[in-house]
Structure 1
């Protein structure tokens, strides 16, 4: 989710998407994983007009030569009306 530690939500596709991927980076790190371990991304977006921006920001985090599989779902809304995007990441880490 693009919610900062202080509870604020940035405006715009780029800012929200970047915060989502930064938050996911933190979660992956805490789990002992990296973006190289991510095998699937699912995007939930309230509109599709920001997809070029979403892909551009995503490319800053994933290996663009072997990106994870992905799905995109357009939704009527997310749990807060100011959210544009939510991303679910599935990582596979050897134990």
Structure 2
């Protein structure tokens, strides 16, 4: 394996703020790209803290999926390359609504959906959903 194939590189789209702790939005090593958990923050605005796009699950889910897509694209991948998606919801009552938005989002984006796990967690105030993804590039 050459040094470049084995190099581990951080992936941060221009639309994302610096993470609040020492981690990367995404990491690529060879043909593997791991996207860290993304939330429904709107695009970064210089000098302003990140804020959710809205209080509702639908708008936060769509923004979260777009934020994951931005990291995938910055790392040279797409949703088509995603093999695993993990979803973190704050409320079990959101499961059906989340699935409806998720299904709508992916209808024309992938030929084979990624495997998915959904768990229920606590997130910082105002955030309803977090999503991470694992992609394998050809």
- TM-score for the superposition, normalised by structure 2: 0.61
| Structure exhibiting the larger radius of gyration computed from Cα positions | 2
When the two chains are superposed, the root-mean-square deviation of aligned CA atoms in Å is 1.5
Query: Could you list the per-position Cα deviations for residues 48-89 of structure 1 after superposition, in whole angstroms to 9, with x for gaps in the alignment?
Result: 2222232232222343x62111111111x11x2111110011
Higher RCO, Cα 8 Å, sep 6+: 1
Cα distance, 1:47 vs structure 2: 0.6
Structure 1 residue 8 corresponds to structure 2 residue 54: no
Give unmatched runs, 5+ long, in structure 1.
none
Counting matched residue pairs gives 91
Q: 2:113 aligns with which of 67, 74, 79?
A: 67
- What CA distance in whole angstroms lies between the structure 2 residues aligned with 1:83 and 1:73? 15
Aligned-partner SS, 2:134: strand
